[in-house]
Amino acid sequence: MTPPAEWTFATERVGRRVLVFDELDSTNSFAAALPAGTDDGLVIVARNQTAGRGRFGRPWRSRPGAALLMSVVLTPPADLRRPVILTAWAAVAVAAAVRELAGVEARIKWPNDLLVQGKKVCGILIEQAARVVCGVGLNLAQSADEFAALGLPDATSLGLVTGSPVELRDAAGAVVRNLDAAWRRLLAGDRAAVEAAWAGGVGFVGRDVELERADGSRPTGRLRALSFDGLELERGDGTVERVPPEAVEHIRDVSASFLALPARRG
């Protein structure tokens, strides 16, 4: 293996070291196999992955250099190890980076994707063992024809959105700096700021939704609140159910469908 290059972005916790490889099988797999004592906050970047993966082991495919493919190695305190908090942290940070790089807003598609103009631009994969590994795949330079050839008509890239290329190092810098800033907030106890940005990015509060739960059930109702502690779903009979975030596989907006809760009076 060719020795990696090293990038520096002047961060404090995440990305004090950024190692850049020409090719790895998977940045998450490589990061997970690093020995004990590896620098906390180490970032691994690959220009190409031969066995990249997303949620549920789905393959992640992209031509070399066309996407930011990176993983962060962390050893969080116990109160920050919840998957919902880790995914929210990464999603909020990458959304902020997209805003800087492309001047557009990215919406969080529950639980771990980012959409721009209704199409997927980024996927996040959190894996835990002794350490946490956070993988990020952000599309930078793929064309519509490339996505069509891969059978991904609902994907986009920052290059498609802006009409101009986004350089890999620029993208890595924006993502790493925002990950670092959000992580320092969480470590300092400012969970509320990250939580609010995440809830706003997910949206749906005040709308009629269907929750696809891990147990296969699909309750519907009006989403009254969204937090790290749970989703508050008002059912048609007026009762409110609190659903743990970890129990929800997908959220679907059904406001324009059959579901209609009566408006409140007073």
Q: Which CATH number does the domain housing residue 188 bear?
A: 3.30.930.10
Examine the domain organization and report whether 86 and 164 are in the same domain.
Answer: yes
CA 56, 126, 8, 102 dihedral sign is positive
Examine the domain organization and report whether 175 and 241 are in the same domain.
Answer: no
* Mean pLDDT on 104-112: 96
pLDDT reading at 70 higher than 50: yes
pLDDT reading at 26 higher than 80: yes
Judge contact between 66 and 150, C-beta under 8 A: no
Q: How confident is the model at residue 36 (pLDDT cuts 50, 70, 90)?
A: confident
Distances (CA, A) of 182 to 45, 179, 195, 240: 20, 5, 11, 32
Q: What is the mean pLDDT of the chain?
A: 92
pLDDT-above-90 percentage for the chain = 87
Residue 7 is classified by DSSP as E
**Residue 80 pLDDT:** 97
Last residue of a domain, one of 161, 176, 201: 201
Q: How confident is the model at residue 52 (pLDDT cuts 50, 70, 90)?
A: low
pLDDT reading at 92 higher than 80: yes
Examine the domain organization and report whether 133 and 224 are in the same domain.
Answer: no
* Mean pLDDT on 167-186: 98
Distances (CA, A) of 38 to 31, 41, 86, 139: 9, 9, 19, 28
Give CA torsion, residues 253, 256, 259, 263, to 10 deg. Answer: 100
Examine the domain organization and report whether 123 and 216 are in the same domain.
Answer: no
pLDDT reading at 74 higher than 70: yes
Number of separate domains in the chain: 2
Nearest to 94 by CA among 80, 77, 110, 112: 112
What's the CA gap between 104 and 88, in Å, rounded?
A: 19
Is 262 domain-assigned? Answer: no
Examine the domain organization and report whether 125 and 66 are in the same domain.
Answer: yes
**Residue 264 pLDDT:** 44
Is 259 domain-assigned? Answer: no
What's the CA gap between 263 and 116, in Å, rounded?
A: 31
Which residues have CB under 8 Å from 144's CB, separation 6+?
A: 160
Classify 193 as helix, strand or coil.
helix
Nearest to 44 by CA among 31, 57, 63: 31
**Residue 53 pLDDT:** 64
Is 167 domain-assigned? Answer: yes
Examine the domain organization and report whether 147 and 224 are in the same domain.
Answer: no
Examine the domain organization and report whether 195 and 224 are in the same domain.
Answer: no
Examine the domain organization and report whether 138 and 234 are in the same domain.
Answer: no
pLDDT reading at 64 higher than 70: yes
pLDDT-above-70 percentage for the chain = 92
Nearest to 101 by CA among 7, 201, 177, 154: 177
Examine the domain organization and report whether 142 and 56 are in the same domain.
Answer: yes
Examine the domain organization and report whether 213 and 121 are in the same domain.
Answer: no
Is 34 domain-assigned? Answer: yes
Residue type, 105: E
**Residue 248 pLDDT:** 96
Is 136 domain-assigned? Answer: yes
Examine the domain organization and report whether 221 and 137 are in the same domain.
Answer: no
Is 60 domain-assigned? Answer: yes
Last residue of a domain, one of 201, 225, 240: 201
pLDDT one-digit tens code per residue, 222-248: 999 999 999 999 999 999 999 999 999
pLDDT reading at 258 higher than 80: no
pLDDT one-digit tens code per residue, 111-135: 999 999 999 999 999 999 889 999 9
Residue-range definition of the domain harbouring residue 228 = 205-253
The edge-to-edge listing of strands for the beta sheet with 220-227 is 240-243, 230-234, 220-227, 208-213, 248-253
Examine the domain organization and report whether 56 and 22 are in the same domain.
Answer: yes
Q: What CATH code is carried by the domain that includes residue 241?
A: 2.30.30.100
Helix (H) or strand (E) holding 69: strand 67-74
**Residue 260 pLDDT:** 44
Is 72 domain-assigned? Answer: yes
Is 186 domain-assigned? Answer: yes
Helix axes 191-202, 83-102, angle to 10 degrees: 70
